[in-house]
């Protein structure tokens, strides 16, 4: 990841309206900011995401992320069958196209995600 053309700034996440993203079950609420270049160099997307209890993603994701669990518990399943559980203070990272993954939570989760 190259970070260019980003001035110092502060983000008040409570001032960003969430967008709603239904899963196979439950709902994800994204507060999203984009930073940096556009065009050939995609901007960096930064999100504060809240998953409702009972959330299950509606797709296998192949996008790379750096993900930090702020609250709750997130279970991430890889297409090869491995399963990982994140609790507050834990993170994961995965490259674009490296390992398809999908997330679920029984109790809900709040995540900080950079991709």
100: CATH:
2.60.120.10
45, 30 Cβ separation under 8 angstroms: no
pTM of the model: 0.90
Residue-wise pLDDT tens digits, 12-59: 999 999 999 999 999 999 999 988 866 556 688 999 999 999 999 999
6 is a domain residue: no
pLDDT (0 to 100) of residue 40: 55
pLDDT (0 to 100) of residue 41: 63
73 is a domain residue: yes
Task: Give the total number of structural domains in the chain.
Answer: 1
9 is a domain residue: no
Percentage of the chain lying above the pLDDT 70 cut: 93
Distance, CA of 28 to CA of 26 (rounded, Å): 7
23 is a domain residue: yes
pLDDT (0 to 100) of residue 53: 98
4 is a domain residue: no
The strand pair at 101-105 and 74-78 is best described as antiparallel
Residue ranges making up the domain that contains 50? 18-114
2 is a domain residue: no
């Amino acid at each position: 990841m190259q970070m260019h053309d980003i001035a110092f700034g502060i983000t008040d996440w409570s001032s960003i309206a969430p967008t709603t993203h239904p899963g196979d079950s439950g709902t994800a609420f994204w507060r999203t900011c984009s930073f940096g270049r556009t065009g050939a160099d995609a901007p960096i997307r930064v999100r504060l995401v809240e998953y409702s209890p009972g959330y299950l993603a509606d797709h296998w994701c192949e996008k790379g992320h750096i993900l930090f669990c702020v609250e709750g518990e997130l279970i991430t399943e890889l297409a090869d069958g491995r399963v990982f559980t994140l609790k507050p203070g834990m993170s994961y990272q995965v490259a674009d196209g490296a390992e398809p993954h999908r997330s679920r939570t029984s109790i809900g989760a709040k995540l900080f995600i950079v991709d």
